[in-house]
Structure formats: C-alpha cells, structure tokens
Structure 1
Amino acid sequence: MTDYGHPITFGLSLDPSAHELDATRQLAQAADDGGLDYLAVQDHPYQPGHLDTWTMISHLAARTSRINFLTDVADLQLRPPTMLAKAGASLGVLTGGRIVLGVGGGASADAVAAMGGTRRTGGDTVAYTTEALQIMRRALAGDVVRFAGAHLAVEGYRGGPVPPAPVPLWLGGQRPRMLTVAGRHSDGWISPLNIYVPPEEVPSRQQIIDEAARAAGRDPAVVRRIYNVIGTIGGSGGPGGTGLVGDAQLWVDTLTRWAVDLGFDTFIFWPTASPRSQLRAFTERVVPAVREQVREFRGQR
C-alpha cells in the first residue's frame, strides 16, 4: 500500500459527557503539554448526557495554547454547512488556526429526525454531503456562495472571516459512495474505529479514495488519512480486549506498520480505560518511537 508521505501526527479522543468535564479539562491540558497534535471530539448531540461538540471545543480551545481541535465527526444533517463553515472560520481566527473540520453524513437517521432534522439515508445522504462540502469549501475561502443543488440551496452568502490558515475539511465514512466523495472533495479521510474498519479492510477503501481522486484530477496524496484507534497500552492482547491491546512496543510496531503499509498519517487514540495514564504512555512511549521508526522506514526506501 502507498505511503503518502505526510508527517505522522497523533491525537486523543475526548469524552463529551457532561459529568466527565473536569477530567476532560485535565486531559486536554495534559495532551497540549505532552505535544500531541489533535484533540478530537465526537458529535452525537442527540445523546442527552453529551455536551454540544462545538461549545465544548470552544471552551477547551480557550484553556489550551497550541494543540489543534478536530470534530470527529460533525453531523452535517444537524449542522447546516454555511453555519458550520462560519463556526469553523470563526474559531480558526480566534485560535490562530487550531481547528480541523471533520464532517460526516450523520450516524443515525432516526436520531437526526428525532431532533428535527431531515431524515436522509443512502444515496440522499451521499448527495447531501457532496453538496455540503462544496458549499463549505467556498464559504471557508471567503467566497460568495451561490449554490443550487438537489438538497441545498444558497442564494448568495458571503463567506468570512477568513482564518489565518485554511481550515481542512476531513470526511468520515467507510462505504464506497462516501469514500468516493472523500477522494473527490475532501482534504482527508477519517476512518471509523479500527474495530469497525479493521486493518485488513483498509487497502480496498484506500483504493476507492485514490481512484476517485485521480478521476477528479487530484493527486491522491493530497488526501490525508486518519485512523481512530481504540485500545489499551499495557497488558496482553487476546480475547476480551477491545481493539489494539498490548505493550507499548506492540503499539509502536503496529502504528508504524499502519503508517507505512496502509497509508495512515494520523492516529487518534481512544483509550478504553484510565485515560490519564494511557495518555501518558501514548505521549511518552508510543508517539516518539512511531515517528522515529517511520522516519527510518522512509529513509530505507
């Protein structure tokens, strides 16, 4: 599989539960201090115990200094693309460019409808997402957006403010039609968790993205590749463990292989327990070693 050559970056997924807020604040600061690249927040606003993702990111951005924030992923069915672009651009200005918009077609049509959104499934979701990405890209660039699609219409929105650095648009998905959209229109593909898209299924998905990018006249290497990795650092693998489970060296070797063989350049860690100690193990024992091993592999090629 192609190594697309991007710098290897790392992030931590934060729990958006309201009752975990104090611990989440501490984790965010520790990740910022520890040199991670991203803090990622899932977006399931129909969960009554979850804080709103955008409000939570804004709150944590004000309490950190250098780390980037990633919506992993924002539900486009519940967040109109012009407003989401406005929010992303605004936070890009306020944070000096520390925001990446990960977006998706929506995890649950029933939950979207329950909140008053339009129920879309299948091809309609793919078409809506395609239109939304086109609108958002123009809005984030500060252009005047006029768009008439099958699902979205914008009659002349003037985008802005323009942040100091472009806000990337990364698309989450795993099915062929959505992967095609990622290749044609996004700046990155966010894979679901490694327990949902296991490593052996990744090459076929990367191929779809690459072929779609080429068909659109794009170099596949411009599309970043992001893997959400659930698991535990420490202990031994085997039955009963969720995701990637093993000692730090197993994590180093596995993430290195997933980078140079599967093409991922960013790993978002979802610890299954003890997030503070897991974060420490990740930042101190895994991240620097993976970066070094990938540099060595690339130097040998």
Structure 2
Amino acid sequence: MASLPLRGPGVIAKAAATLDLLSGGRFELGLGAGGYRQAITAFGGPDRTAGQNQVALEEAVEIIRGLWRPGGSVRVTGEHYSMAGVHGGPAPAHPIGIWFGSVGPRALAQTGRLADGWAAPIPHYLPYEKWRESQEIIDTAAIEAGRRPSDITRIAQLVGHITDAPGEVVLKGEAPIRATAAQWAEVIGHLAGDVGFDSFVYWPESADAAQLTAWAREVVPAARVLLGKG
C-alpha cells in the first residue's frame, strides 16, 4: 500500500509499471490517501485534512491511469496534483488494478466510484458488523457512477487461529476467529455468499508455519467445495 502524500502520482505510476513489467504482470497497486497526518508531516509530507486527501487521491488516480496509457499526453489541473502534457508510458504488462483500503462512508463511496478493488481493513479498524454496510456504500456509489459493482474486487482480511476443537464463531467487533478448518470454511462461505467478498487473506494470531499449512491444505479446499469451486 503506497502512501500517496509521501510519493507523487507520477513516481508511483512509473514505479508500478516497471514492477509490473519485471514481474510479468503480477503487480497490483494499493493506494492510501494518507491516514496518519502527524507522521506524514513529520516525514516532510503535506499537511492535509481528510477531505483534502480524498480530493488529492482522485486527482492522483487520474494521473496514474493516464501515465499507464502510452501514446498520449496527460493533462490534469488539480488542487493538489497537476500535469501539463506529460507523455504516458511505459505501459504495464497487464491492466494494473488500483486498490483502496477505505473505512469511512466518504472514502467507501470514493472506492465505488474509482477503485478496482477494496481491501477491507482488519476488524481492528473496521469491525465485522460494518462490513455489509460498507459493501452497500461501495455498490451504491459504483452504480451512481455508471459502474458495475462486480467490477470491484473485494478482499476480506481475517484474523484468528485454526483449532483442532470446534469453537464459537461470532463475527463481531474485532474478536479473532478461533475455529476448526471446517468452521473457517463456513465463515468464508458466508462472507462470499452473503456479504460479497471475492478473496480472503488469513492473518494467524501467531507466526506459526503450521497455521499457514492448515489454511492452505484444509481451509481453502473445504471453502472451495462449499462454494462449488472445488
């Protein structure tokens, strides 16, 4: 996730295209508007309000996407970022998706209007019970902007532990999920079928290779079968 206030959109666009070419089309761009104002200013970045950050992010996305299209020139006159006829290129190896990790209603609506993907923040920052409402805000904004909600990929980040014995699973607040592989598969099925997520990232409570192995070998296959993709 690149913090926009610490890097100009032109530099981000060029670096992203280069990384995509070097990786054979495997790079996606996470773009943050700048959530830690004091840390950004301490690092020499601009001192902006949350509203100004959103305006800057919108201008940056226009510039970045313009620079990924070779053959033309990018002209943007904004409050925070401008470009006066810069030629685009190099072209990425594939259409790079721009991802936001939005939390508030205005930022979520901006995700619906502009982003290719939404990485829902871990429950510490966005509690589980807010996920469905957040998805609805994104969907509504996408439709109002003439987009299809399905064009926006959604990632859920899940924190917890894969256990041997069944546990009580309650998706509320930021409580970690402590459950068997079969129960984890049911959680994924619920979040995919009822809440609208496409992909899932597992954050084990402890740095344990056995947990990642269990996720890959037990949870993922069971979830795929449950979703009819096995």
Fold shared by both chains (TM-score > 0.5): yes
Q: Find the counterpart in structure 1 of residue 89 from structure 2.
A: 160
Aligned residue for 2:19? Answer: 91
Asked whether 1:114 is paired with 2:62, we answer no
Contact map agreement 2:169 2:177 (CA 8 A) in 1: no
Matched, 1:134 2:62: yes
Cα shift at 1:173: 0.7
Q: Secondary structure at the match of 2:89?
A: coil
Shift of 1:105: 1.1
Distance 1:97 1:275, change over 3 A: farther
- The 1:120–1:289 alpha-carbon spacing in structure 2 relative to 1, beyond 3 Å, is same
Which residue of 2 is the match for residue 253 of structure 1? 186
> CA shift at 1:218, angstroms?
0.8
Equivalent in the alignment of 2:78? 149
Q: Which has the higher contact order (CA 8 A, sep 6+)?
A: 1
Which of 171, 188, 196 pairs up with 2:125? 196
Whether the 8 Å CA contact 1:134–1:185 is kept in 2: the answer is no
Counterpart-to-counterpart distance in 2, 1:141 and 1:272: 42
Deviation at 1:237, TM superposition (A): 5.3
Once the two structures are aligned, what percentage of the paired residues are identical?
Answer: 38
Q: Which residue of 2 aligns with 1:287?
A: 220
Kindly indicate whether the alpha-carbon contact (under 8 Å) linking 1:173 and 1:179 is maintained by their aligned counterparts in 2.
Answer: yes
- Distance in 2 (CA, whole Å) between partners of 1:116 and 1:279 is 38
Residue pair 1:227, 1:264 contacting (<8 A) in 2 also: yes
| Matched AA of 2:28 | V
1:195–1:243 contact (8 Å) kept in structure 2: no
- Paired with 2:145 and 2:186, the residues of 1 have a C-alpha distance of 35
Residues 151-183 of structure 1 show CA distances to partners (whole Å, capped at 9, x for unaligned) of 111122222211221111111111111111111
CA contact 1:140–1:162 (8 Å) conserved in 2:
yes
Contact 2:101 2:118 in 1 (8 A): yes
Cα RMSD of the aligned pairs, angstroms, is 2.1
Q: Distance in 2 between matches of 1:295 and 1:277?
A: 26
Residues 238-257 of structure 1, C-alpha deviation per residue, up to 9 Å, x if partnerless? 89x95222221121110111
- Which whole-Å deviations, capped at 9, do the CAs of 1:101-157 have from their partners, x for residues lacking one? 111112301111111001222211111111111111112233421111111111222
Instruction: Measure, in 1, the Cα distance between the counterparts of 2:168 and 2:42.
Output: 40
Quote the Cα distance in structure 2 between the aligned partners of 1:281 and 1:238.
18
* CA displacement at 1:194 relative to structure 2: 2.6
Of the structure 1 ranges 189-198 and 121-130, higher mean CA displacement relative to structure 2 is found in 189-198
Matched residue of 2:6: which SS? coil
* Mapped partners of 1:289, 1:135: distance in 2: 42
C-alpha distance after superposition, 1:205-248 (max 9, x if no partner): 11111111111111111011111222222264589x95222221
Query: How far apart, CA to CA, are the structure 1 residues paired with 2:223 and 2:124?
Result: 21
Q: Secondary structure of the residue that 1:155 maps to in structure 2?
A: strand
1:221 aligns with 2:150: yes
SS at match of 1:254: helix
Q: How does 1:1-301 map to 2 (within 5 A)?
A: 73-142=1-70, 143-234=72-163, 236=167, 242-295=175-228
Measure the CA separation in 2 of the matches of 1:238 and 1:92: 39
Aligned pairs, number: 224
Q: Secondary structure at the match of 2:228?
A: helix
Q: Which runs of 5+ in 2 are unaligned?
A: none
Structure 1 unaligned runs (5+)? 1-72, 297-301
Q: 1:161 to 1:246 in 2, by over 3 A?
A: same
Residue identity matched to 2:10: T
SS at match of 1:161: coil
